[in-house]
Chains A and B, each alone.
Chain A
């Protein structure tokens, strides 16, 4: 039942997924240059980049449960790339804020971060993503050692929760979308905790998973 591609096929799948992950950005670039993002394009870009950051965090967190339930261990080979795409969208989101929303008004941004809880939380989530992106290379995994690397990268659950809170606190009244993200991330966390009790340490080794 489970699909077991050859290493070459995995490389091909990875390339395809990489291209697909660029589509949301391509859509924004195309929409901005053709002025088809609606009456308030900057708001659209802010929302879209934030939405995709959360979506990629959820997709990244789904890799481990999915590979277990589907018995497709090779899925792990996509995880680092997906996680880096979450960071990529977070960078776009942060840049939109700094440039198109605040116009490099650094003192104004500091006030915003200190005074507005939804900005504080969003900023914290972004800052916490940085060490995860930096330590995503094989060399860094080796330098940190598997255990410490893994402990550090569990931060991603906290980051996802902060991201959902950020979304929840910024909507005016209709919390449908943040509630959906909250439910998805909560179930992924539960799936991970359940999976953990039933497996040995070996299958959680990050070095094997991220190599390649």
Chain B
């Protein structure tokens, strides 16, 4: 858990990606040579040889002061149905995802649609470290140090017009890279959505990394959103398209089981899932259960977005 307390590194000190990738290739080849020579190649740990992509990330005041869930748990216990419905499926099977090259298209009701290359996205705004709570609709939770910047930074560059009332996120749906797509467990591609004010909210994070490095494939590489006051499934992974729309997007889980998964899906201990209680949660790594907080503890920042709305009706 101490791994995210990294020393402050100036951005000028960060090794350019091309250079450290070259080094990695060299180390890999060198390691191979050493193994062939019968020398203890196991001692070589290429992971230590390069700076993490976001080592210098500014620590955000939005971060929670709670112990982060270990990297191993964050990266081996996930829901990412494009790789299977088991919690360990993404970690086992997401290696087939190719996060580079990657294009994210921003389109729809806006003046300046654009197809963004991943390298452009990495440089678009200052990447921060944000330690957020993550509450799954299934009743478990984590604390995750993400790296990214407000989604608004990207959205405002598209200059959304007056008809842009919602923002729709579409996840990649490539059966060649995602074995889970072959089963029709959800209506692919995975689509999620937010109201435009939710999408523009400073807590909504365009996320490129976790634990100081680029996103692992199973966590939604190379680019995803994180909406910390909503159940986890609202935070779309491996996004290829962001579209401004006038109508409320038809989201994947809402289409699948409308009475269980509403468009809003704000974390709310007072509104049960039709089949189970949402009052408590199991924080991964803890033995007992803890009380679930309204808006996952972000009520102070976001409750105003829903003033006057009946959150039982708009669950």
Contacts and interface: CB of A to CB of B under 8 A. Distances in A.
B198 interface: no
B275 interface: yes
Contacts, number: 45
Nearest to B285: A39
Contact of A174 (B85, B138, B277): B85
Interface in B281-295: 282, 284-285, 287-289
Interface string A101-129: 10100000000100011100000000000
A40 B275 contact: no
Contacts of B257: 173
B156 interface: no
Interface residues of B, number: 25
Interface string A162-188: 000000011011101000000000000
A172 B87 CA distance: 12
Most buried by B among A112, A172, A176: A172
B275 A169 contact: yes
B185 A173 contact: yes
B292 to A, nearest CB: 14
B282 A116 contact: no
Contacts of B138: 172
Given A116-B275, A117-B275, A172-B138, A42 B85 contact: no
A3 B74 CA distance: 52
B186 A39 contact: no
A118 B275 contact: yes
A180 B282 CA distance: 29
B153 interface: no
A38 interface: yes
A80 to B, nearest CB: 34
A11 interface: no
Which of A38, A39, A101, A112 has the largest number of chain B CB atoms within 10 A? A39
A43 B88 contact: no
A103 B290 CA distance: 12
Interface of B: 69, 72-73, 76-77, 81, 85, 87-88, 138, 140, 183, 185-186, 256-257, 275-277, 282, 284-285, 287-289
Given A43-B140, A173-B185, A173-B256, 16 more contacts: A38-B88, A39-B69, A39-B72, A39-B87, A39-B284, A40-B77, A40-B87, A40-B140, A42-B282, A42-B287, A43-B282, A103-B289, A172-B138, A173-B85, A173-B186, A174-B81
Ranked 7 nearest A-B pairs via Cβ:
A39-B77, A39-B73, A174-B85, A39-B284, A174-B185, A173-B185, A40-B140
